[in-house]
Structure 1
Amino acid sequence: MISYFRSILPSRLVLLVLLFLAIRVPLILLGQPATSQELISMLVGERLTNGFQMYAEVYDNTAPLAALFYWMIDIVTGRSVIAYRLVATMLLLLQAFFFNTTLNRHQVYAEKNYLPALIYLILGSITYEFDMLTPLLIGNTFIILSLPYIITISREGLDNSRLFVGGFMFGLAALSYLPLLLFLLAGTFAVIFFASNTFRSFLLMVCGFVFPYAMLMTYYLYAGSLDEFIVLHLLRSWLYQTTLLLSPADLVKVLALPALLWLLSVFSMMSLPQRLVFQVKFQQLMWVWMAVGLLVAFTQASVSAGAFVLILPAIAYFSEFFFTGGLKKWILNTVFFAVLAGVVILRYRDVSGINRFLQINDAKLLASANPVPAIRNTTVLVLGNDLSYYTNNKPATPYLNWQLAQRHFGNLNEYWALFEIQENFRKESPAYIVDKAGLMEELKYKLPTVFASYEETETAAVYKKRR
């Protein structure tokens, strides 16, 4: 089986796609419940489709390019978990093929093959978290697109634009998920390894990175929401309060297989003879790539298995050394089928009932059902972190992210905060307010013209607007 993918004939590519879809698509079509991240993404897309401007009228720290993706999907399909996961599947497929094409075109290995793409796609299906269209997954696409531009051996006066394009791709990645700007470190090492004029090349890459931000900030300046863009995107994304959505033990269970394959690949690589200078430099870059990917993964606000999509390229790169390292074919095929079986078991652990043995608890990832079934197909504002009320309802007012809403609701003793709340409710008022933060009494006292029209219902902490 492994020897079949050590060729670049078109038939290998077709089988690779079919194998990936056979692993991936059935779980998507089975209609697995939406996750909290997917619910937030759909809410952002829905608000943008309804004509509200990001950051000025939607208080959320979703990066602008990721928000653009969600807006376009919502225009076509509305709230559709399947649509989001199919788009994520296509992005992962494109990432694998572009990464593999880059390796083959630049002769990173002794022979051209599809093994990196094979491992990338199989390990990229190990958990349904990789099915989620997260800002991280979107940004990772641009990180991989930057690779052929930053590994070009540049000479003075020649191919200068390539480093600019590489930096531009890093900028688009950061506009998808801001912490991905840390991959400028990988770009810096690439300049050191490959470029002839290090400082000048570095400046070219930085200029390319800044360019998309300059264009976007100009747009927000003329739209009158530059301050909101800076506060909600550039600043808030670095206020980390890291929480583990999967316990350390569960993370080990999910990631043990990729880690084991990576270790086997590194040991195999060490036993191989010396390679060409370019190949050695690329290998060094992949070590930096893995280190930066782990840094970004562990500095997320919420850490789970899906964050490790960033190190898939590095694992796929190193795995080629194991599967071409000279071991007997039956050993290589045994390891490959063991990896494939492990991925299928982990991916389908819930629908097959195997999870009662693995005991991987991913409840924190899933979006809760609407706790009040009577409140459906209406507008709701939740004063708190409970997004479950939005499952069957639309958000009203800009206060989608409760942490960001603290700019106003956390400063109710300030006149400017009360004025901003009143202005936002004047433009758009929800049919229901769910007061998880216990603020309604104070709000009714300080802003009676806005909140006096809301009366308590039979459900605790739920207020309904009188007609």
Structure 2
Amino acid sequence: MISYFRSILPSRLILLVLLFVAIQLPLILWGIPGTAPELLHMLVGERLADGFTMYHDIYDNTAPFSTLVYWLMDVLAGRSFLAYRLAALALLLVQALLLNATLNRHNVYASKDYLPALVYLILGSISFELNMLTPLLIGNTFIILSLPYIITLSKEGFDNNRLFVGGFMLGMAALSYLPLAVFLLVGIFAVVFFASSTFRSMLLMLCGFLFPYAVLLTYYLYTNTTQEFLEMHLLRPWHLRVAFLRPPADVAKLMAIPVAVLLLSLMSVASLPQRLVFQVKFQQLMWVWLFTSLLVIFTRPEISVATFVLLLPPIAYFSQFFFTSRQKPWVLNLVMLVMLVSVLVLRYRQVLGINRFLLLDESPLLLPEQALPMQDATVLVLGNDVRYYMQNKPVTPYLNWELAQRHFGRLDEYQAVFEIYQNLSKEMPAYIVDKAGLMPELQYKLPAVFGKYRATGDEAIYRLEDSI
């Protein structure tokens, strides 16, 4: 298997794509219940498609470019988990092929092949979470796109525009998911390793990084939403804590295979013979990439298997040194086969009926499939329970309950109450689901709006009198 992909013939590329599709597509078509993060992304896209403005009419901290992607997805496919999964599938494939093409084009290894892409796509199939169209997955594409530009061997006055483009790609990654701005460190180290005029080159890359933000801030200045953009997205506090979206033991089980491949690869790197200067510098850059990825992963507000997509590029790069090492061919093929079979077992464990042995619990991420007391209605949820939006339409800016606390968490302040009144006066939902227990206080302080709602037979659900 390894010897087959140690070539760049078109037939190898075709088989690589077919192998990836064969692993992923059956489960995607089979259907996996939707997740809460995906539903929130769909709601953002839906509100944008309805003509509302991000951060002004939609309180959510999703990065600007990612919201543009979700708007486009809603225009093309509406609320379709299948469309979102297929888009993520295509994005993962593009990332693997772009990374592999960059490695081959710049002669990073002694030979050209498709082994890095093979490892990338196999490990990228380890969990359905990597099939979610997250801002992190979108931003990771721009990180990979920046690579061929930031490793340019620049000379004074020669091809310096490539560093600007590399910085621009890093800026777009940050506009897709803000913590990816940390990858500017990778760009800085690339300038130190490869550029001849370090200070000039660094300024050029920094200008490229800031350019998309300058354009975006200009737009928000004209739309009078600069303050909201700064508050909800750009100046959000950095979270130095680890919070898992699913049990840490499950994340550890799923990540055991990628970590094992990474460790084997790093041990192989230590026994490498002397190589070209460019190849040594590139390897040093990939070490920086690896540590930067770990920094972003473990400083995220929420950690799941999907966050480890950032590790796929460095793992794919370093794995080449193990799978082309001097180990016996049967040993290398056995490791590759074990990796492939393990991924297939983990992905198809429900179909094979072996999850009772693996004890992997996906329920914290999945949306419940129970019937809701209302359908095809406009709804406002006071709380984090987004399942009520599955078959209903959200209204008012309060999508993200954490950001909604800027108003609902300050009901003792006149300005916050007035803002709630203004937002609810524009869009009166047919139902309010009060998971936070705020309705009695809201009805007392804003009877002109919340006094029109009456409790229903279902707990915590209030219905607008006009909709009865």
Q: Does 1:461 align with 2:444?
A: no
Match of 2:194 in 1: 194
* Counterpart in the other structure of 2:366: 366
Query: Counterpart in 2 of 1:125?
Result: 125
Change (3 A) 1:414 1:240: farther
For structure 1, the 5+ residue unaligned runs are none
- 1 CA distance for matches of 2:46 and 2:185? 35
Amino acid of the residue matched to residue 41 of structure 1? H
**1:350 & 1:231 partners in 2: Cα distance?**
43
Deviations 1:290-341 (A, max 9, x none): 1111111111111011101001000000111111112222211111111000
Which amino acid in 1 is paired with 2:403?
L
Give the aligned partner of residue 76 of structure 1: 76
Aligned to 1:115: 115
Deviation at 1:384, TM superposition (A): 0.7
The match for 2:25 is 25
Offset at residue 268 of structure 1 (A): 1.8
Alignment partners' CA distance in 2, 1:33 and 1:53:
29
* Residues 136-215 of structure 1: pairs in structure 2 closer than 5 A: 136-215=136-215
Contact between 1:293 and 1:311, CA under 8 Å: does it hold in 2? yes
For the 8 Å contact 1:290–1:314, the answer to whether it is kept is yes
Paired position in structure 2 for 1:104: 104
**Deviation digits for residues 99-132 of structure 1, max 9, x if unmatched?**
0000000000000111000100110001111000
* Coordinate RMSD, CA, aligned: 1.1
**Sequence identity percentage:** 64
Q: Which aligned pairs between 1:29-428 and structure 2 lie closer than 5 A?
A: 29-236=29-236, 238-239=238-239, 242-369=242-369, 373-428=372-427
Superposed CA offset, 1:138-178 (max 9, x none): 00000000000000111111111111111100110000000
User: Is the 8 Å Cα contact of residues 242 and 302 (structure 1) preserved in structure 2?
Assistant: yes
- 1:17-58: CA deviations, max 9, x gaps? 000000011110011001111111111111111111111001
CA distance in 2, matches of 1:236, 1:178: 9
Question: Contact 1:6–1:115 (CA<8 Å) still a contact in 2?
Answer: yes
C-alpha distance in structure 2 between counterparts of 1:198 and 1:379, whole Å: 56
Residues 432 and 462, structure 1, Cα contact 8 Å, conserved in 2: yes
In the alignment, the residues of structure 2 paired with residue 429 and residue 236 of structure 1 have an alpha-carbon distance, to the nearest angstrom, of: 29
- Corresponding letter in the other structure for 1:168: F
What one-letter code is carried by the residue in structure 1 that aligns with 2:322?
Answer: F
* Structure 1 residue 249: Cα displacement: 1.8
Distance 1:208 1:221 in 2: 21
Q: Secondary structure at the match of 1:377?
A: coil
* Change in CA separation of 1:408 and 1:241 when aligned onto 2, cut-off 3 Å: farther
Matched residues in 1 for 2:349 and 2:235: separation?
Answer: 39
User: After superposition, what is the alpha-carbon deviation per residue over 1:197-254, rounded to whole angstroms, capped at 9, x for unaligned?
Assistant: 1111111111111100000010011011111111111123635664211322222210
Letter in 2 for 1:230: L
Distance 2:331 2:421 in 1: 69
Which string of whole-angstrom CA distances, capped at 9 and with x for unpartnered residues, describes residues 252-287 of structure 1?
Answer: 210111111111112222222111110001101111
Name the stretch that deviates more: 195-204 or 114-123: 195-204
Q: CA deviation at 1:373?
A: 2.1
**Structure 2 CA distance for partners of 1:241 and 1:259, relative to 1, 3 Å:** closer
The residue type equivalent to 2:258 in the other structure is P
Q: TM-score, normalised by structure 2?
A: 0.98
- Indicate if the aligned counterparts of 2:372 and 2:388 stay in contact, CA closer than 8 A: no
Q: In structure 2, what is the Cα distance between the partners aligned to 1:368 and 1:196?
A: 57
Give the structure-1-normalised TM-score: 0.98
Amino acid of the structure 2 residue aligned with 1:405? A
State whether residues 265 and 318 of structure 1, in contact with CA within 8 Å, keep that contact through their aligned partners in structure 2: yes
Q: How far apart are the structure 2 equivalents of 1:416 and 1:398?
A: 16
Report the AA paired with residue 422 of structure 2.
Answer: E
The answer (yes or no) to whether the contact 1:191–1:202 under 8 Å persists in 2 is yes
Instruction: Quote the Cα distance in structure 2 between the aligned partners of 1:402 and 1:237.
Output: 16
SS of 1:364's partner is: coil
Maintained 8 Å contact 1:232/1:404: yes
Q: Distance in 2 between matches of 1:368 and 1:61?
A: 24
Q: Deviations over 1:391-423 (max 9, x none)?
A: 111111000001100111111111111111111
**Separation in 1, partners of 2:202, 2:347:** 41
CA contact (8 A) 2:379 2:388 kept: yes
| Stretch moving more, 355-364 or 141-150 | 355-364
3-state SS of 2:113 partner: coil
Structure 2 segments unaligned to the other structure (5+ residues): none
Amino acid paired to 1:347: R
- Cα displacement (A) at 1:59: 0.4
Counterpart secondary structure, 1:463: strand
Deviation at 1:462, TM superposition (A): 0.7
The aligned length equals 466
Q: Which amino acid aligns with 2:448?
A: T
